[in-house]
Amino acid sequence: MSKEIVDYIIANSEWTEEDRDLLESLEDDRLDVIEAGVLSNQLVDDVTPEGGADDSTTVVTNTERPTLADWCKTIPVEVQNLLHNQQEADNAKQADLVSDILANKANKLSKDQLENLDVSLLEGIKSSLPVTNNAGSAPDFTGRATPTTNASELNQEDVLETAVLTFENPLTAKAG
């Protein structure tokens, strides 16, 4: 089977007889990938006329990526709504992150620089900045133990009677 695939690849691609040993040494799954590539190139060649495009045919190549708004026009309305909601949530999260980063005294970036960054990068920047205590805010007790209180009511039945310690000799105390 692999000999037939190698023969097909050599006959229909830029591979030559000099490459036969290399092709025959490859595993079948690698040969299948090469064969699929040769087949897809043949399909493209079959669609394109031999002399290229004639005068009546205009070949349009779009090298620019479509904008999000243009692409959204091509998708179903339900998906447009989901995408719009997600984009609004991301924009709100980005605005919150930018304001939090700008409020931190250790920040060295400008508002314009931060607004052009992706949400994941902004989250990384925010987490890498030290936590500062801004004027007027409550102290930050991050990492400290949770305070406990003794607010429970005392049940007298649960209280143990304390022992009375005397350091007198019991024998001498009775005699006296």
What residues does each domain of the chain span? 2-47, 68-128
Q: What is the pLDDT of residues 49-107, one digit of tens each?
A: 555 555 555 454 555 677 877 878 888 888 888 988 998 999 999 999 999 989 888 88
**Per-residue confidence band for 118, with pLDDT thresholds at 50, 70 and 90:** confident
CB under 8 Å to 15, separation ≥6 — which residues?
9, 23, 34
Token pair for residue 111? Answer: 């508002």
Instruction: Give residue 62's identity as a one-letter amino acid code.
Output: N
Closest CA to 34 of 53, 8, 52: 8
Token pair for residue 104? Answer: 């931190």
DSSP letters along 9-53, please? Answer: HHHHSS--GGGHHHHHHS-HHHHHHHHHHHHHHHHHHHHS-TT--
User: Of the segments 9-18, 147-156, 166-175, which one has the largest average pLDDT value?
Assistant: 9-18
Q: What is the pLDDT of residues 121-139, one digit of tens each?
A: 888 888 888 876 555 566 6
Entry field: residues in the chain: 176
State the pLDDT at residue 93.
93
Higher pLDDT pick, 15 / 54: 15
CB 102 within 8 A of CB 114: yes
